[in-house]
Amino acid sequence: MTIDQGKIDTGLASMSAWSEAPAGLWQAALESTRPVRRHRLSRPAKIASAAGVLVLLVMVVGAILPSLGKARASARSIRGDMTVDAQVSSPSVMAKAEQRNRAPSTVAMGYAGEPPPSMDLPPASAAPVVPGARGNPQVETNPAADRMVIRKATIELKTRDVRGVFVKSAQVLSEAQGEYIESSTLSGEGENTQGTLTLRVSAARLSALLNSLRGLAEVTSENATGEDITDQFVDLEARLRNEQRVETELLDLLASRKEAPLREVLELRDSISRVRESIERMAAQKERLSRLVSLATVLVIIRPDSTKPAPIPDGLGGYFMKQLRASWQSSLTFLADSIAFLLRVLVGGAVFWVAAAVVIAAILMARRRAIRRLGREPAPAL
Amino acid sequence: MADDPDLPLLQRFAKGDNAALGELARRYEQPLLGLALGIVNNRELARDAVQDMWVRVIRAAASFQAQSSVRTWMYRILINRAITLRQAAARKPVAVLDADAGAMHPPHGAGEDAERIRAAVRELPENQQLILVLSYHEGLTHEAAAEVLGIPLGTLKSRLHAALTALRARLGAEVVA
C-alpha cells in the first residue's frame, strides 16, 4: 500500500490539531493563581513593612550596642591588667608605677547649678590588709587586691534648711560598722547658718554614703582623693619586724651575759629600751595607718541657699503656663535624647548596618535574578 | 519586539486587565492545545500542559522582558512543559501516552494511513518528532517554528528534511514521493 507525500503532510498536520472547543484553561489557571496574587502587597503596605523592619532593626541594634560596649570595656580592662602584669618586670616601669602610686589621685568637680554626676569610688580595703613584702609575688601580680588607700571626700551642699540637712547628714552613719562623727560645727543664725561635719565612715560604704548625702540637698561641689600608702605600710612593717628581731637578740644577749660587768648590762638595757620605744612608735603608726585605710574621711559642708524661690504663679492660668513650660522643657530633653539615641544606633551600629545592607542587597539581587529568569524561557533543547 | 501584536495584551493583563488574557487565550489556546497534544499524545496531559503554561504566563507577565515575541515565549513555555510531562508519564509503570491515541485525532486525518503515519512518527527520535510536529503545526510558519526552537531557519529546514527522510524510511517503500 503506497502513501504519497500529501497523505504524509495531512497526517503530520493532524497530529497537532485540536478538534474540540477551547477548554477555557486560562480561566482555570487564573483561578488557581488568584490566592497568590491576592497576597501581593500594595506599595504603601510594602513601604510600611519596610519601615517596620527598619524600626525593628534599630531597636535590636540599640539594644545590642550597650551590652557590646560593656563587653568591649571589660575586654579592654582585662587587656590593660595583662599589660600591667607583663610590664611589672621592667625596673623603669616599676619605678614609674611606684611614683604614680605615691601621688594622691584627685577627682574634683565644680558645679554651676547643675547636679554633679555621681562619683562612685571603688571600695578601699575595709579591713587593714597587710600586704606581703616588696618581693611578694602577690603584690606584683595583683596590685589592686591588697592596695591600701586612704580615701577622703569633700561634699558641699546647698539648702534652705541647713539645720535639717545637718541633722540628717549625721544620721547616715552606721555605728555598727564603727563609723563616727569626728567633728561637727553649726554656726550662724537664720539665713546665715552654716554647718560642717567630718565623718569617718567605712571605706567600703563610701560610695553609698556619698549617694545618701547627695539626696539630702543640692550638691554644689564634690571632691574625692585617694592616697595609696601600700609602699609606706610595707616599709613600716619591714622596719617593725627588723626592730623586733633586734629586740629579741638583745634580750637573748642580756640573758646570756648575766655575769657581765654592770656597765655593759646597763648599756644593753639602754639599747633594749631604745629599740622597744621604736617598736611601739612603729606599731602605733601602723595602727593609725590601718585605721585611716579602713575608715574614709568625708567632709560635709552645708551652706544656706540664698537664691530667692521662684514665684509661684497664681491661679489656673499661672499653673497652666508653668505646666506648659515644664512640658516644653521635657519635650526638648526627650527630643535630644531621641536624637542622641539615633546617632548612637546609626554610628555605633555601623557594622550591623553594613552587614544588613549586604544581606538585603544579596536578597534583592537574587529576587531580581529570579524575576528575570521567570520572564525568560529558554528555547526547547533539541 | 515592539511590533508584537500580543505585547499590549500581556502588558494590560500585567496591570490587572484579565480580559486581555482572555483575548490572548482566544487567539492561541486552541493551537496551543493542538501542539501539546502532538507532543504528549494524550488529551489530559495536553490540557495539563496548557494550563501549566497559563499559570506560568500569569505569574511572569509582569516580568516579561520582550526578548522574544509573546507568542514565541508562550510556545517555548508550552513545549518545555509538555516535554517534561511526557517524560514524567513515560517513567510511570503503566504507560498512558497512547491510552487514547486512537480516539484523539479528528476524522479529517482519519484512516489507516494517518494512523500508520502517527505510529511511524512516534518511533522516531524525540528531537525529530518535535521538528515534525512543530513544522506541521497549523499555528506556526517555519520561520516562527525556527524562532521558537532558537535555531536558524536553514537549520530547521535541514533537520526537517532529515526527519522526513527518516519517517519515509520507517514507512518503507510504500511511500510515493
Contact state of A377 with B73 under an 8 Å Cβ cutoff = yes
Q: With beta carbons less than 8 A apart as the criterion, state whether A299 and A196 touch.
A: yes
Q: Tell me if residue B140 falls in helix, strand or coil.
A: coil
Residue of B nearest to A22 (CA): B30
pTM flag (> 0.90): no
B80, B83, B113: residue with CB nearest A377: B80
Other beta carbons less than 10 A from residue A260's beta carbon: 13
Q: Tell me if residue A155 falls in helix, strand or coil.
A: strand
A14, A376, A379: residue with CB nearest B105: A14
What is the model's pLDDT at position A376?
80
Contact state of B59 with A25 under an 8 Å Cβ cutoff = no
- For chain B, give the mean pLDDT: 85
What is the model's pLDDT at position B142?
93
List chain A residues with pLDDT less than 70: 1-2, 35-41, 67-145, 308-313
Q: With beta carbons less than 8 A apart as the criterion, state whether B160 and B174 touch.
A: no
What is the model's pLDDT at position A3?
72
Contact state of B76 with A374 under an 8 Å Cβ cutoff = no
Q: Which residues of B touch A2 (CB under 8 A)?
A: 174-176
Buried b (16+ CB within 10 A) or exposed e, B140-155: beeebbbbbbebeeee
Contact state of A25 with B29 under an 8 Å Cβ cutoff = yes
A12, A19, A33: residue with CB nearest B55: A33
B127, B138, B174: residue with CB nearest A17: B138
Other beta carbons less than 10 A from residue A340's beta carbon: 10
Contact state of B114 with A11 under an 8 Å Cβ cutoff = yes
B55, B64, B149: residue with CB nearest A32: B55
Q: Which residues of B touch A375 (CB under 8 A)?
A: 60, 63-65
Q: Which residues of A touch B85 (CB under 8 A)?
A: none
Q: Which residues of B touch A12 (CB under 8 A)?
A: 117, 121, 132-133, 135-136
B29, B63, B151: residue with CB nearest A375: B63
How many interchain CB pairs under 8 A, A with B?
170
- The alpha-carbon gap from A9 to the nearest alpha carbon of chain B, in Å, equals 7
Residue A4, chain B, CB below 8 Å: the answer is yes
Contact state of B175 with A2 under an 8 Å Cβ cutoff = yes
Contact state of B34 with A17 under an 8 Å Cβ cutoff = yes
Determine the Cα–Cα distance for residues A115 and A210; give it in Å rounded to an integer. 13
| Averaged pLDDT, B61-83 | 91
Examine the pLDDT at B167 and tell me if it is beyond 80. Answer: yes
Q: Which helix (H) or strand (E) holds B97?
A: none
Q: Tell me if residue B106 falls in helix, strand or coil.
A: coil
Of the two residues B146 and A78, the one the predictor is more confident about is B146
**B159 CB-near residues (< 8 Å, 6+ apart):** A382, B127, B128, B131, B151
Contact state of A7 with B117 under an 8 Å Cβ cutoff = yes
Residue of B nearest to A374 (CA): B60
pLDDT band for position B158 (50/70/90)? very high
Examine the pLDDT at B7 and tell me if it is beyond 50. Answer: yes
DSSP string of A305-349, one letter each residue: --SPPPPPPPHHHHHHHHHHHHHHHHHHHHHHHHHHHHHIIIIIT
Residue A310, chain B, CB below 8 Å: the answer is no
Convert the pLDDT of each residue in B83-134 to its tens digit: 999 999 888 765 444 545 444 454 444 567 788 888 899 889 989 999 999 9
- The alpha-carbon gap from B131 to the nearest alpha carbon of chain A, in Å, equals 9
Q: With beta carbons less than 8 A apart as the criterion, state whether B145 and B72 touch.
A: no
Convert the pLDDT of each residue in A185-224 to its tens digit: 988 887 788 999 999 998 888 888 888 888 888 899 998 8
Q: Which helix (H) or strand (E) holds A108?
A: strand A105-110
